[in-house]
Amino acid sequence: MDVPTSRASGEDWLFYDAPLVLHFSGSAYSDPADCAVVASLAMLAGESLGLGSCMLGFPGYIFRYSKPLREKYVLPPKIQPGLTVVFGYPRFTPRNAVRRRFREVREYA
Ligand SMILES: Cc1cc2nc3c(=O)[nH]c(=O)nc-3n(C[C@H](O)[C@H](O)[C@H](O)COP(=O)(O)O)c2cc1C
């Protein structure tokens, strides 16, 4: 029996119809940190406009190995995975965010 998948039914299983998706991929010679810098700045810009945003690493690997998706999003054939940021209009205001800490912070005088 064929089980209908969300993909087969036309659902946007990758980005769930996010109003805006920005993908930052580097050329073969770029530093992977380049994408992290610009993706972070894009998140700050989005937040300043009142948008919600979420950084995603997995789409870049899917783009890297899927020619049909590279063609769909007009991406060149040889790319580093890079980073994706999805944006949306927040429905809720988070009140109890997880407080994250660095394992250790050292100061060198
Ligand atoms: C570089 C980077 C890549 C990430 N990639 C993914 C991803 O592919 N999928 C995912 O669900 N979350 C990913 N995350 C985590 C989310 O961006 C987000 O931090 C997570 O949903 C937790 O949200 P919170 O920090 O508000 O609890 C990534 C985070 C970073 C910093």
For the stretch 47-101, pLDDT in tens is 999 999 999 999 999 998 999 989 988 998 888 899 999 999 999 888 888 888 8
Gap from CA of 97 to ligand 1 centroid (Å): 14
Q: Strands of the chain (E only): list them.
A: 20-24, 52-56, 83-88
Q: What total number of domains does the chain contain?
A: 1
Q: Is residue 57 a contact partner of residue 83, using CB atoms and an 8 Å limit?
A: yes
Q: Give the Å distance between the CA of 2 and the centre of ligand 1.
A: 33
Alpha carbons 82 and 37: distance in angstroms, whole number: 11
| 27: containing domain | 20-88
**In the predicted model, is pLDDT for residue 7 greater than 80?**
no
Q: Is 62 in the pocket of ligand 1 (CB under 6 A)?
A: no
| Residue 40, domain member (yes or no) | yes
Protein residue closest via CA to atom 27 of ligand 1: 98
Tell me whether residue 104 is in a domain: no
State how far the Cα of 40 lies from the Cα of 54, in Å rounded to an integer: 10
Q: Decide if 55 is inside a domain.
A: yes
Answer yes or no: is 14 within a domain: no
Q: b/e string for 8-28 if b means 16 or more Cβ within 10 A?
A: eeeeeebeeebeebbbbbbee
Residue 25 structure tokens? 């991929």
- 13 lies in some domain: no
- Asked whether residue 4 is assigned to any structural domain, the reply reads no
**pTM here?**
0.85
pLDDT of 4 strictly over 70: no
Is 37 near ligand 1, meaning CB less than 6 Å away? no
The SS3 of residue 53 is: strand
